[in-house]
Chain A
Amino acid sequence: AQSVTQLDSQVPVFEEAPVELRCNYSSSVSVYLFWYVQYPNQGLQLLLKYLSGSTLVKGINGFEAEFNKSQTSFHLRKPSVHISDTAEYFCAVHTPNQFYFGTGTSLTVIP
């Protein structure tokens, strides 16, 4: 069975500070890993994805994530956040024919 756990439901952080949003997954098969962002009243937008190769993945808006197979984690990081980064962030795993999403982390950037 596959599952995705986002360890923090809410993360407040000051503007220009670094942030890490944590994601752990469990799967009995090889998976692809994703981070999506959702702004209020909008659909999901892909931030970045890990398929294979380098474990450090760079995405849009200055975000990056590191795949750690031994710890089954895929944490999202940004070295300096902006007010516009305030949104809901979802980690997801993809297996054949299905996506599994975490419950989301609400990132609030404080001026």
Chain B
Amino acid sequence: ETGVTQSPTHLIKTRGQQVTLRCSSQSGHNTVSWYQQALGQGPQFIFQYYREEENGRGNFPPRFSGLQFPNYSSELNVNALELDDSALYLCASSLDRSYEQYFGPGTRLTVT
């Protein structure tokens, strides 16, 4: 059974650029949630995808968008990057929107 994987592990971007982060869910899971974890903070919920549809969204602006593919992998896209977007981005997968989430190791994004 393959766990949740994320790519890339680290990324450096310039303010104003766009970025795409990727997540492969655990085998059999059809739900993916994305979180932003700023340094020294707890994870903040961005949104959740269930069977390719957005199924809930936290308090993040529209420049944070996502996709879920038929194989249930997912992308997080952030447009017009700001310095405050620098954080660890975590992906978690689950089955049928369950609270039993399994987290990936994260992507560390640095915006300069």
Contacts and interface: CB of A to CB of B under 8 A. Distances in A.
Q: Do A and B belong to a common assembly?
A: yes
Given A43-B4, A43-B90, A97 B103 contact: no
Given A99-B45, A102-B42, A44 B58 contact: no
Size bracket of the B interface? 20 to 34
A45 B105 CA distance: 10
Closest 4 CB pairs of A and B: A97-B56, A101-B42, A43-B103, A44-B103
B41 A104 contact: yes
11 contacts: A36-B103, A41-B105, A43-B106, A44-B90, A90-B43, A99-B45, A100-B45, A101-B42, A101-B44, A103-B40, A104-B40
A97 B42 contact: no
B104 interface: yes
Interface string A27-55: 00000101010000111111001010000
Interface of A: 4, 32, 34, 36, 41-46, 49, 51, 90, 92, 94, 96-104
A44 B43 contact: yes
A96 B40 CA distance: 26
B104 A43 contact: yes
B10 to A, nearest CB: 10
Main secondary structure of the interface of A (DSSP, over half): strand
A51 B104 CA distance: 23
A42 B105 contact: yes
Contacts of B48: 97-98
B58 A98 contact: yes
Contacts of B71: none
Contacts of A4: 42
Nearest to A90: B42
Contact of A99 (B4, B33, B105): B33
